[in-house]
Amino acid sequence: DNTHQNRVSDMVFSLESEWVVSTGHDKSVSWMCTQSGSMLGRHYFTAWASCLQYDHETQHAFVGDYSGQITLLKLEKQTYSTITTLKGHEGSIGALWWDPVQRLLFSGASDHSVIMWDIGGRKGRTLLLQGHHERVQALRYLQLTRQLLSCSADGGIAVWNMDTQREEAPQWLDSDSCQKCEQPFFWNIKQMWDTKTLGLRQHHCRKCGKAVCGKCSSKRSTFPLMGFEFPVRVCDACFDTIKEEDRTALATFHEGKHNIAHMDMDPSRGLMVTCGSDRIVKIWDMTQVVGCSLATGFTPR
């Protein structure tokens, strides 16, 4: 059946509704009835649709695309409605995971970041998690232990503790001059002329979001409460407020040693499987509190 005119990127079978929902590089999501084989509906995007999650109870579909957007659709027979579009990533969406219990959506992208979207809270709360050096390509959330697993193209495996109070990273503020020392940025021609000074390059403090110059943001720090597991730029004032206990890691990192393209888990047996573009499938022993000790590695024929 030629449901898509290009490569199929993701697919979900819903036993409850007897539907197959699929996305593809023809920039569309489609849903069809498995009983009759008939197409029920299709929606087009402006970019390739890359990944998909589906809530069987509400018939909501979450579709990530190569523009970095996630579209939430309400699917019906022969029709649909667009609920909202989630924008937060600066690169194409590589993975989605939906937790129907807490109603949380997790997304990973080529900007190396993971975002948690609180869909059920209806307050638009988002949490940014930064701990990868490459494109995030697989996600799984463990409801029992409140841990999120994310895998990236360089083989990195991160285990995030989500059973803790985290803070939202601030929105970056716009300014024509440093919001600390008031020196003009290089596009602020008028202030440069008036003060007879050279313009400075603009940076942003990851903790407060203020636009600052390099001199006022010369320090780096981790800040796991906001999801920054690696040192990031912070202004000097914020650096002085970060206590040593604030730097305590809220994630652990492991090396998969292959390009992880897909990942799945069987929590009941404590096993995780990763598939790589290197044609290798690895089975991991996850029994020791998601300890990531390798049980078996093999290359399929």
Do 88 and 229 share a domain, yes or no? no
Structure confidence by residue, pLDDT tens digits, 127-174? 999 999 999 999 999 988 899 999 999 999 999 999 888 888 888 998
* Domains identified in the chain, total number: 2
Q: What is the CATH number of the domain that holds 131?
A: 2.130.10.10
Do 261 and 117 share a domain, yes or no? yes
Q: What is the CATH number of the domain that holds 195?
A: 3.30.40.10
Domain of residue 160 covers 8-165+248-289
Q: Are 50 and 23 in contact (CB under 8 A)?
A: yes
In 3-state terms, the chain is what percent helix, strand and coil (to 5)?
A: 10, 50, 45
DSSP conformation letters of 184-226:
BBTT-HHHHHHHT---B--EE-TTT--EE-SGGG-EEEEEGGG
pLDDT at 217: 94
Do 226 and 266 share a domain, yes or no? no
Instruction: Using CA atoms of 106, 107, 113, 115 in order, give the dihedral in degrees to the nearest 10.
Output: -40
Name every residue whose Cβ is closer than 8 Å to that of residue 58 and which is 6 or more positions away in sequence. Answer: 74
Domain assignment present for residue 79? The answer is yes
Instruction: Using CA atoms of 67, 72, 75, 81 in order, give the dihedral in degrees to the nearest 10.
Output: -90
Do 142 and 90 share a domain, yes or no? yes
**pLDDT range class, residue 121, cuts 50, 70, 90:** low
**What is this structure's pTM?**
0.85
Do 139 and 252 share a domain, yes or no? yes
Do 96 and 161 share a domain, yes or no? yes
Domain assignment present for residue 300? The answer is no
Structure confidence by residue, pLDDT tens digits, 198-250? 888 899 999 999 999 999 999 999 999 999 999 999 999 999 999 999 999 99
- 236 three-class SS: helix
